[in-house]
Structure 1
Amino acid sequence: MVNLPSSPKTAVLSSSASTPPSDLTTQTIISHIIETIQVILEQIWYYRSVYPKESFQKQRSFQLQVYSNFHPGVKQYLKETSEQILDLLKRGKLKRLFIDLYFDDKKFESYAFSFTNSILFDYIRQKCPIQFEETFKEGLLYASLQSLLFSVIGRLSRMPELKESPEFKILVSADEDTFNDMIKDQNWILEKTDLSDTHTHIRDVDVKEFKEVNLGYLNIKGYVGRRG
């Protein structure tokens, strides 16, 4: 497991008000995925008070109202983070993405998204040409990602407000070859996970699932886990 160092507390890459075009390509799919990831990350920042709410402005993405941070430092951080995640997506190497929140170095909340059962990334890794079935339309992809985002926002908006601003980490899980390359890259930091701690306290964690994207070529499962 490796993680991106979180940005200094200075409070984004603006998410465009996307609309579903017609021709579906691998590039288009990945573009929609990275936008979804960006928007989810910013909603976590907003609703969980990672950055001051005054540093956000309303925008639209996937025809939903979302919040985007306008501070230059945070915008640059999100841009750089997105570029690194985008590189993993383009190579079919991203397995899981985590956004963990901490108080005093103790994790109290975790958002996780798994891409492991996506046929699309199998094709990309094997460098095989992809011929999508006619039933796999961009409108369907767009609607599925919109539903995922809607469920994330709905869950975040119902969670109890935090009185203080938490720290955060963005972590990714990749295959062994990619992992070995990543730990040599100064942009990534090796994150040691404590499995014994996970098993010891699993009963104390309240887990809520987000709307699943289940399209065969692309499958995304997500949840939020919060310690009681």
Structure 2
Amino acid sequence: MRILLAEDDPLLGDGLRAGLRQLGFQVDWVRDGAAAARELRAEPYAAAVLDLGLPLKDGMDVLAETRRAGLTMPILVLTARDGVPDRIRGLDVGADDYVVKPVDLHELAARLRALVRRAHGQPQECLRAQGLVLDPAGHTVQLAGAEVALSSREFDLLHALMLNAGRVLSREQLEQHLYSWGQEVDSNAIEVHIHHLRRKLGTDTIRTVRGVGYLMPRDA
């Protein structure tokens, strides 16, 4: 899944970006509040990690502006501001979670996965549809109890479709989910990944809605 990281500390930001990428996230990193506000309005991120002490625009102001604009993507505040009044204000302004630095990387990833699941109405850790069980934390997929080997792109694509089961996703939406800044996207990349998934999971697992996109049907 693609997330926005807003952190001005170069060492911490670089470490978080590298670590979250190793855990399966596509990470776009900005270093000031003005850039964070701009990107949150422009791109459909699955979630955001937002520091509060950002230059150019304070993170609390970014959070408030984002919510006033009607944007609902999950936002996790990651900050050194550990006072109870700061926590209360952050949550009241619109943060979905408030975490004080330092934080364990695996805990941060787990909190992000939980926020994204809840935002899509998926309360369980593992996603289920069409006989598939996808475990985002373990990065595994099972079909009828047998594990299926997928590439990282195939896994991310299937994850997006299962998170949005019953909803058609366009090629552009899937590209935005799979690729972060600077990654080259072939014109037929999504079609190729869909072809490989159907070959491994069954031709009826993912449906094509002609002229619109792709659909993972909900279980009856």
**TM-score category by the smaller chain?**
under 0.3
Of structures 1 and 2, the one scoring higher in RCO (CA 8 A, sep 6+) is: 1
Report the structure, 1 or 2, having the larger strand content.
1
